[in-house]
Amino acid sequence: MNTLFGERKEGATKIVLKSVDEYPEAPVTLGTTLINFTGDWRTFIPVIDDSKCVKCYICWKFCPEPAIFIREDGYVGVDYDYCKGCGICANECPTNAITMEKEEK
Amino acid sequence: MAEYKPIRKVVSGNYAAAYAVKHARVDVVAAYPITPQTSIIEKIAEFIANGEVENLEYVAVESEHSAMAACIGASATGARVFTATSAQGLALMHEMLHWASGARLPVVMVDVNRAMAPPWSVWDDQTDSLSQRDTGWMQFYAENNQEVYDGVLMAFKVAETVNLPAMVVESAFILSHTYDVVEMIPQELVDEFLPPRKPLYTLTDFERPFSVGALGTPADYYEFRYKIQKAMEEAKKVIHEVGKEFGEMFGRDYSQMIELYRTEDADFVFMGMGSLMGTVKQAVDVLREEGYKVGAAKVRWFRPFPKEELYELAKHVEGIAVLDRNYSFGQEGILFNEAKGALYNTNARPMMKNYIVGLGGRDFTVSDVRKIAENMKAVIEKGELDVEVDWYHLKR
């Protein structure tokens, strides 16, 4: 997806170290979470049904990442590069507009 | 280099360590008192109270675990860091020892070898430090107070070159509280030998923020472990270079990780670590006069383990009597175990016998070495071991 809150992320490229020589000598982080797509960890993916959404933004408030952003049209979107699939948004949504589906990879 | 005029002081092993810390221009000391180490950090506190050291921060902590945690934090900012402990205190540090080496921080500590309780003991025994064998710390064993002083200075240089922590180990009371002449090095020459640390990274790098000690998934953890082993291998070369440089500058050569004493034409040698090897060397002189062709092999560095040097020695002796002031329960003396393992895949296979000596500060004298020599000679002549592990002092 390569976006941060709907905007294209500058310099967001996942680092994959292929040989031991490419590793830093000490185990230190090589950048910010911009390059660490924690969305990889997800098993269940939140899917939002805009027709049920009442724009209360409770999901946006509760997302611990935060990976939920408010789109220009006022509905909410999910940054799937960082959403770990915890399901808190779906649990909190008062209109059941968010469902957690098993993600096929 | 300015002409080297040593400053001779009569000091205990612990004070020798404290003076080395002062001369190394250490930035941070975090430590918790424990006998027989306490007089090291007391002396350092005295240096600070007297205004004899500049910019040395002493962090008083509530335990050895916290002491090492503070050392790790300070070292991660690029500071030169020191601590000291013994026995139960070292055991309490154990978790943090892994953090120091894993984060590749060159903390230096003096461990004053003290027997692990129970029964309570404050006397000399190497099992405390050797129990930390697999923590990724280098280990240097000092034979005398001079080697404590020299060892601390060299440990900083080696540690900061390969980015691994190092432990300088001395004997409880036999060195820690016994006074002897130590040749100290004038400050400007210590500065020449040991320039300021160049850290691998520093947490005060605000231009490029990062975190240390983050998660390493199964995809990455393995490579970092390999790098620690590579650094240990590199440390062997660095130890040779630093030990040689020390010898050239100050006249005491430490280029060999195993110090050989009269081993050239020896039929068999005594191998061991630490202060007991001073006794052994004296015994070798006595035994030589009595007709025994014996020598001594003092293992200075236990980690990294000098297996190449051991091989060179093992090739031309008939037997090695390994003297362990330590024990790995369920197996044998720890140095014996290491030495046998190091030779297994080589063509050098002298007879090796393990003598367990001096545990918990039991006296170990020249006459003990003579008795061991008699036994070892008989074993070699017969061509078979009576017992592999000999609890030599045991009251029977």
Give the nearest partner residue to B201 out of A17, A28, A32, using CB atoms: A28
Q: Does B29 touch chain A (CB under 8 A)?
A: no
Q: How far apart are CA B309 and CA B295, in angstroms?
A: 15
Whether residue B395 is contained in a domain is answered as: no
Does B300 score more than 90 pLDDT? yes
pLDDT at B274: 98
| pLDDT band at A6; cut points 50, 70, 90 | low
Are residues B210 and A26, on separate chains, in Cβ contact within 8 Å? no
- Chain B: residue whose CA lies nearest to A22: B223
Lowest mean pLDDT among B201-205, B210-214, B228-232: B210-214
- Of residues A8 and B34, the one with the higher pLDDT is B34
Determine if the peptide bond prior to B304 is cis (ω within 30°): yes
Mutate to test the interface with A, among B104, B160, B162 (most CBs of A within 10 A): B104
Q: Does A23 touch chain B (CB under 8 A)?
A: yes
Lowest mean pLDDT among B54-58, B84-88, B207-211, B373-377: B207-211
pLDDT at A36: 78
Are both B280 and B163 inside the same structural domain?
Answer: no
Mutate to test the interface with A, among B99, B107, B163, B210 (most CBs of A within 10 A): B210
Q: Does B195 touch chain A (CB under 8 A)?
A: no
Mutate to test the interface with A, among B227, B229, B230 (most CBs of A within 10 A): B227
Are both B195 and B290 inside the same structural domain?
Answer: no
Does B83 score more than 50 pLDDT? yes
pLDDT at B34: 98
Q: Does B61 touch chain A (CB under 8 A)?
A: no
CB B2 within 8 A of CB B188: yes
Counting the structural domains of chain A, the total is: 1
- Of residues A14 and B382, the one with the higher pLDDT is B382
Are both B55 and B136 inside the same structural domain?
Answer: yes
Does A28 score more than 70 pLDDT? yes
In whole angstroms, how far apart are CA B129 and each of B12, B226, B253, B259, B274?
A: 20, 23, 25, 20, 12
Can you say whether residue B51 is alpha, beta or left, with left for phi > 0 and alpha for psi between -120 and 50 degrees?
left
Per-residue model confidence as pLDDT tens digits over A30-89: 877 777 788 988 999 999 999 999 999 999 999 999 899 999 899 999 999 899 999 999
Does A8 score more than 70 pLDDT? no
Q: How many CB atoms lie within 10 A of CB B252?
A: 14
Mean pLDDT of the region A9-28: 87
Task: Tally A–B CB contacts below 8 A.
Answer: 42
Q: Is B58 helix (H, G, I), strand (E, B) or coil?
A: strand
| pLDDT band at A5; cut points 50, 70, 90 | low
Q: How many CB atoms lie within 10 A of CB B251?
A: 10
Sheet holding B319-324, edge to edge: B258-261, B294-299, B268-272, B319-324, B351-356, B389-390
Counting the structural domains of chain B, the total is: 2
pLDDT at B279: 98
Does B388 score more than 50 pLDDT? yes
Are both B54 and B115 inside the same structural domain?
Answer: yes
Q: Residue B63: give its domain's CATH number.
A: 3.40.50.970
pLDDT at B164: 98
**Could you tell me the sign of the dihedral formed by the alpha carbons of B383, B386, B392, B396, in that order?**
negative
Mean pLDDT of the region B276-289: 98
Q: Residue A98's domain spans which residues? A: 3-102
Closest CA to B262 of B243, B291, B285, B289: B285
pLDDT at B214: 84
Are residues B210 and A29, on separate chains, in Cβ contact within 8 Å? yes
Per-residue model confidence as pLDDT tens digits over B152-196: 999 999 999 999 999 999 999 999 999 999 999 999 999 999 999
Are residues B224 and A28, on separate chains, in Cβ contact within 8 Å? no
Please state at what angle helix B221-250 crosses helix B87-102, rounded to 10 degrees.
Answer: 110
Closest CA to B35 of B125, B127, B122: B122
Q: Does A38 touch chain B (CB under 8 A)?
A: no
Percent of chain B with pLDDT over 70: 100
Q: How far apart are CA A78 and CA A40, in angstroms?
A: 14
Please state at what angle helix B145-162 crosses helix B13-23, rounded to 10 degrees.
Answer: 40
Q: Does A26 touch chain B (CB under 8 A)?
A: yes
pLDDT at A48: 97
Q: Residue B172's domain spans which residues? A: 7-250
Are residues B227 and A23, on separate chains, in Cβ contact within 8 Å? yes
Does A1 score more than 50 pLDDT? no
Among B222, B250, B278, the domain-final residue is B250
Whether residue B26 is contained in a domain is answered as: yes
Are residues A28 and B102, on separate chains, in Cβ contact within 8 Å? no
Q: Residue B277: give its domain's CATH number.
A: 3.40.50.920
Whether residue B1 is contained in a domain is answered as: no
Are both B233 and B87 inside the same structural domain?
Answer: yes
Q: How far apart are CA B240 and CA B158, in angstroms?
A: 10
Among B250, B272, B290, the domain-final residue is B250
Among B250, B279, B300, the domain-final residue is B250
Average pLDDT, rounded, for chain B: 97
Give Cα B372 to chain centroid, integer Å.
Answer: 25
Within B251-306, residue ranges assigned H as helices are 276-289
Closest CA to B338 of B272, B386, B278, B243: B272
| pLDDT band at B205; cut points 50, 70, 90 | confident
Are both B237 and B287 inside the same structural domain?
Answer: no
| pLDDT band at B350; cut points 50, 70, 90 | very high
Q: What's the predicted TM-score (pTM) here?
A: 0.91
Q: Residue A80: give its domain's CATH number.
A: 3.30.70.20
- Of residues B335 and B212, the one with the higher pLDDT is B335
